[in-house]
Amino acid sequence: MPKPIALVTGASSGIGRATAQGLARAGFAVIAAARRLDRLQELAEQNPGVTPRQVDLSDVDQVENFCAEIIGYDEPVGVLVNNAGYSWRGVVEAAPMAPLLRMYQVNVFALLRLTQAVLPGMRARRQGRIVNLSSIVGRFTFPGSGPYASTKHAVEAVSDAMRHELLPFGIRVITIRPGPIATEFNDTANEFSAEAAANTPPEYQPVLAAAGAAFGKMFGQIRIPGPEVVAEVIVEAITSDNPKAAYAVGPFSDELLPLRAKLDDDDWLEGMNQRFGLAGLKV
Ligand SMILES: NC(=O)c1ccc[n+]([C@@H]2O[C@H](COP(=O)([O-])OP(=O)(O)OC[C@H]3O[C@@H](n4cnc5c(N)ncnc54)[C@H](OP(=O)(O)O)[C@@H]3O)[C@@H](O)[C@H]2O)c1
**Cβ neighbourhood burial of 66 (10 Å; 0-12, 13-18, 19+):** buried
pLDDT tier at 118, thresholds 50, 70, 90? very high
User: Which atom of ligand 1 is closest in space to residue 36's alpha carbon?
Assistant: 40
The CA-based angle 278-272-189, given to 5 degrees, is 85
**Phi first, then psi: what are they for 90, rounded to 5°?**
160, 170
pLDDT at 52: 98
pLDDT tens figures, 180-193: 999 999 999 998 87
pLDDT of residue 174: 99
Q: Which residues are catalytic?
A: 148
- pLDDT tens column, 214-251: 999 999 999 999 999 999 999 999 999 999 999 999 99
In angstroms, the CA 35 to CA 54 distance is: 5
**pLDDT score at 2:** 67
Closest by CA to 166, choosing from 217, 115, 203, is 115
Of 8, 9, 15, the residue with max ligand 1 atoms within 8 A of its CB, to mutate for a pocket test, comes to 15
Give the model confidence (pLDDT) of 28-60 as tens digits. Answer: 999 999 999 999 999 999 999 999 999 999 999
Round to whole Å and give the CA distance between 174 and 159: 7
CA distances from 49 to 75, 238, 244, 270 (A): 15, 17, 27, 51
d(CA 10, ligand 1 centre) in Å = 5
Closest ligand 1 atom, residue 137 Cα? 6
| One-letter identity of residue 196 | A
Architecture of domain 5-204+225-261: 3-Layer(aba) Sandwich (3.40)
- 62-107 confidence digits (pLDDT tens): 999 999 999 999 999 999 999 999 999 999 999 999 999 999 999 9
pTM of structure: 0.98
Is the distance from the beta carbon of residue 10 to the nearest atom of ligand 1 less than 6 Å?
A: yes
> Nearest-CA neighbor of 3 among 69, 50, 71?
50
Beta bridge partners of 29: 5
Structure confidence at residue 192 (pLDDT): 80
- Torsion angles phi and psi, residue 31, rounded to 5: -95, 115
- List the chain domain ranges: 5-204+225-261
Regarding the beta carbon of 14 and ligand 1, being less than 6 Å apart is answered yes
The DSSP annotation for 227-259 comes to THHHHHHHHHHHH-SS--SEEEESTTHHHHHHH
On whether the CB atoms of residues 181 and 230 are closer than 8 A, the answer is yes
Helix (H) or strand (E) holding 33: strand 29-34
Give the up-direction half-sphere exposure of residue 175: CA atoms within 13 A in the CB hemisphere: 21
Determine the pLDDT at residue 1.
60
Task: Assess contact for 31 and 51: CB atoms under 8 A.
Answer: yes
Question: Are 177 and 261 spatial neighbours (Cβ–Cβ below 8 Å)?
Answer: no
| Crossing angle of helices 60-71 and 110-125, rounded to 10° | 10
Residue percentage of the chain with pLDDT more than 90: 95
Binned at pLDDT 50, 70 and 90, residue 165 comes out as very high
CA distance 219 to 212: 10
